[in-house]
């Protein structure tokens, strides 16, 4: 046997070198004589083998075929790490489900990864973050674009949206890309040089098989070549297996076909066997490790040590130790496959969740609501469903794009449905804006008016109309409200200043009336009717000339009227004249205080009294006609005389009520 069976990992084309009957794969690196020698040795061994041994070999080949997938998986990864040593640390960074993170979280994760100096160890992470971020960002921009065109249906301007988080993402990703390009340039230069160096070492190994050279010098040279090999550096991954297989072939060839010191060789074989047995023992422990991914990563490292750091063992142990290692590798690979199947099952569960979420959004895109508050509730539901969609986790890669597309379509349809409602709202708000602009113009026109009696009711009416008008577009709301409020405040502040001036005058009038009231309490009539009547009228006129008093202090008017009533009672006037004087004084007081409510109430009272008296007179006149049509009509009895007397009294009362109503209607209220 020319090489230890499957001691090396698979070649780049996926074939695993077996024992001598597969050594033809190495023809490109062995001389024709070496191949012939090897084939002769193998033929001799095969001729002495029993049929049962051939069956064992066949079984071994089948076992190796079963293990092929597990070995390829590890070999491909190690070949990649061989090309770029920064990949050795990639497994220490946990791969997250980046689809479940928000855009802010994705950018934060990207910043952390970009700060890592091992560019290639974060490559897969960065690309996953980029994919997740751009998907969310594009969806976000589509929604903003729809909102923009909904709010500005007639615009001819291109949609633009500044998103600082996207700028931050682009800057971080650009830094990562620059670092990666720099890394690749340096890597390519080194790979080519290292490959040439390793091929040269292989060529020197071939030349060591020289029986004429001193064995000690040959062994020393061999050890130097092995040390140079360990320090030769990374090579391209597509050359990795081929170069390593050739190297190990010639190392084993050196051990097997040179006449080395058997004792030294056996010691080396024994040491190598012990090291490989330790690896096998460790792999047996890893098979029971709970963390399958961690165990598999360590298995990759053990394969690399087996292949790169430990030399061959004796022929009698080569098959056994390798098969043991290979079988354990397959067990680890099977456990990993079970884990992957479980993950795929989880992805299928996530797919079902996302389908349910999409279906729920599609339903919401058909539920018609007719108020802003109801739409806010619908929007809140969709936002919750969106958050659930992003938190649901990964789905199988073959349906990922399809699922994402269905989700975007469902959200877009909901937004279109929602926007159709808000287009109507927008139209209504624009109509409200026109109405409010008209009120603003009217308020600004009246704000400098000094005709407070006429303007104040108009300004109050304008304010009431403003309250009845609905919302306007948000971008105009603050501006138009400020304009309206400033115009109203300007007018009512001036009105307040004018009232404050009047209040000062009213307080002064109250003080004068209060002092005059004390003087009037001591007034005594002279007994002369005309003189006393003129004096009372003068008191009334003087009182009126003092002016109005503050509203809370109008009780002083009642005190003045009580004094007048006492004076009128002492005058020798008719009841009618006294009553008219009192009424005139009272309604003039109401007029001065602009007490329109009491004046209107008084007017209604007088009109009712006039109706009542008219009805009484009519009834009495009907009664007289009844008595005058009887036999004794020529002689009016006492009843008829009494009726006539009552009619005269009612007519006199009617004149008084009419006179009061006439005075009331002639009042000029300010």
Question: pLDDT digit string (tens) for 239-273?
Answer: 777 888 888 788 877 777 555 566 767 787 888 88
- The residue ranking higher by pLDDT, 234 or 91, is 234
92 close to 83: Cβ distance less than 8 angstroms:
no
pLDDT reported for residue 589: 66
Count of residues for the chain?
670
DSSP 8-state code for residue 522: T
Q: How far apart are CA 280 and CA 244, in angstroms?
A: 21
pLDDT reported for residue 15: 36
pLDDT reported for residue 588: 66
What is the pLDDT of the chain when averaged over all its residues? 75
* Structure confidence at residue 359 as a pLDDT band (50, 70, 90): very high
Reference 260, options 248, 249, 268, 272; nearest CA is: 268
- The residue ranking higher by pLDDT, 269 or 308, is 269
* Structure confidence at residue 343 as a pLDDT band (50, 70, 90): confident
Q: What are 669's two structure tokens?
A: 């209220």
Q: The tokens 């603050």 sit on which residue? A: 478
Over 90: is that where the pLDDT of 373 sits? no
Q: How far apart are CA 438 and CA 476, in angstroms?
A: 14
Q: Per residue in 208-231, pLDDT tens?
A: 776 666 777 777 888 888 888 878
Q: How far apart are CA 279 and CA 33, in angstroms?
A: 36
550 close to 532: Cβ distance less than 8 angstroms:
no
236 close to 189: Cβ distance less than 8 angstroms:
no
Percent of the chain with pLDDT over 70: 76
Q: Per residue in 469-504, pLDDT tens?
A: 888 888 888 999 999 999 899 888 887 777 666 677
Percent of the chain with pLDDT over 90: 3
**How is the chain split into domains, by residue range?**
92-233, 366-511, 595-670
Considering 20-34, 407-421, 493-507, 582-596, the range whose residues carry the highest mean pLDDT is: 407-421
Q: Is 0.75 surpassed by the pTM of this model?
A: no
Q: Per residue in 127-184, pLDDT tens?
A: 888 888 888 788 788 777 777 766 676 666 777 778 888 888 888 888 888 888 877 7
Q: How far apart are CA 358 and CA 352, in angstroms?
A: 10
Q: What are 78's two structure tokens?
A: 């190690």
* Structure confidence at residue 437 as a pLDDT band (50, 70, 90): very high
DSSP 8-state code for residue 98: G
- The residue ranking higher by pLDDT, 642 or 444, is 444
Q: How far apart are CA 35 and CA 206, in angstroms?
A: 12
């Amino acid at each position: 046997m020319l090489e230890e069976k499957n001691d090396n990992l698979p070649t780049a084309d996926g074939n695993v070198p077996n024992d001598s009957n597969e050594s033809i794969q190495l023809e490109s690196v062995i001389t024709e004589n070496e191949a012939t020698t090897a084939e002769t040795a193998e033929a001799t061994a095969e001729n002495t083998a029993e049929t049962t041994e051939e069956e064992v070999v066949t079984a071994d080949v089948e076992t190796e075929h079963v293990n092929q997938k597990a070995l390829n998986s590890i070999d491909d990864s190690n070949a990649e790490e061989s090309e770029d040593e920064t990949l050795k640390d990639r497994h220490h960074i946990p791969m997250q489900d980046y689809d479940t993170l928000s855009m802010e979280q994705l950018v934060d994760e990207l910043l952390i990864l970009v700060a890592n100096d091992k560019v290639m160890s974060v490559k897969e992470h960065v690309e996953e973050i980029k994919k997740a971020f751009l998907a969310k960002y594009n969806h976000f921009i589509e929604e903003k674009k729809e909102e923009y065109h909904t709010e500005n249906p007639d615009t001819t301007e291109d949609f633009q949206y500044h998103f600082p988080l996207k700028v931050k993402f682009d800057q971080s990703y650009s830094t990562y890309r620059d670092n990666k390009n720099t890394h690749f340039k340096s890597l390519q230069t080194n790979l080519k040089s290292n490959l040439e160096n390793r091929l040269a070492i292989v060529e020197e190994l071939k030349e060591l098989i020289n029986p004429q050279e001193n064995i000690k010098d040959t062994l020393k040279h061999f050890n130097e070549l092995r040390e140079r090999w360990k320090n030769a550096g990374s090579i391209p991954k597509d050359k990795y297996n081929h170069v390593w297989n050739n190297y190990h072939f010639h190392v084993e060839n050196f051990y097997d076909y040179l006449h080395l010191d058997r004792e030294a060789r056996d010691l080396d074989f024994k040491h190598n066997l012990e090291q490989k047995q330790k690896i096998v023992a460790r792999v047996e422990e890893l098979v029971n490790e709970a963390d399958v991914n961690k165990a598999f990563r360590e298995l990759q490292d053990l394969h690399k040590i087996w292949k790169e750091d430990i030399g061959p063992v004796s022929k009698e142990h080569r098959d056994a130790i390798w098969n043991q290692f290979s079988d354990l590798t397959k067990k680890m690979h099977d456990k990993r496959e079970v884990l992957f199947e479980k993950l795929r099952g989880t992805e299928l569960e996530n797919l079902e969740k996302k389908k349910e979420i999409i279906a729920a959004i599609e339903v919401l895109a058909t539920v018609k609501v007719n108020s802003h508050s109801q739409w806010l509730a619908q929007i809140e539901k969709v936002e919750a469903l969106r958050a659930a969609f992003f938190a649901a986790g990964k789905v199988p890669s073959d349906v990922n794009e399809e699922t994402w597309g269905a989700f975007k379509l469902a959200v877009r349809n909901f937004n279109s449905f929602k926007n159709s409602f808000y287009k109507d709202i927008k139209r209504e708000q624009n109509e409200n804006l026109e109405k409010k602009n008209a009120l603003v113009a009217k308020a600004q026109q009246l704000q400098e008016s000094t005709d407070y009696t006429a303007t104040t009711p108009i300004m109050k009416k304008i304010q009431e109309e403003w309250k009845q008008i609905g919302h306007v577009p948000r971008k105009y709301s603050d501006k138009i409200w400020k304009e309206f409020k400033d115009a109203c405040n300007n007018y009512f502040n001036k009105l307040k200043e004018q009232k404050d001036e009047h209040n000062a005058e009213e307080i002064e009038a109250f003080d004068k009336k209060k002092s005059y009231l004390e003087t009037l309490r001591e007034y005594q009539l002279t007994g002369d009717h005309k003189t006393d009547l003129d004096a009372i009228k003068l008191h009334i006129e003087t009182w009126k000339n003092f002016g109005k008093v503050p509203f809370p202090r109008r009780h002083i008017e009642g005190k003045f009227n009580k004094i007048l009533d006492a004076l009128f009672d002492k005058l020798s006037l008719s009841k009618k004249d006294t009553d008219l004087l009192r009424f005139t004084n009272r309604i003039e007081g109401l007029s001065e205080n602009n007490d329109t409510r009491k004046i209107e109430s008084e007017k209604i009272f007088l009109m009712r009294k006039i109706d009542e008296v008219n009805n009484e007179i009519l009834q009495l006149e009907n009664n007289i006609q009844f008595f005058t049509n009887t036999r004794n009509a020529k002689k009016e009895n006492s009843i008829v005389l009494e009726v006539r007397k009552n009619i005269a009294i009612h007519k006199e009362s009617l004149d008084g009520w009419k006179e009061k109503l006439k005075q009331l209607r002639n009042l000029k209220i300010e």
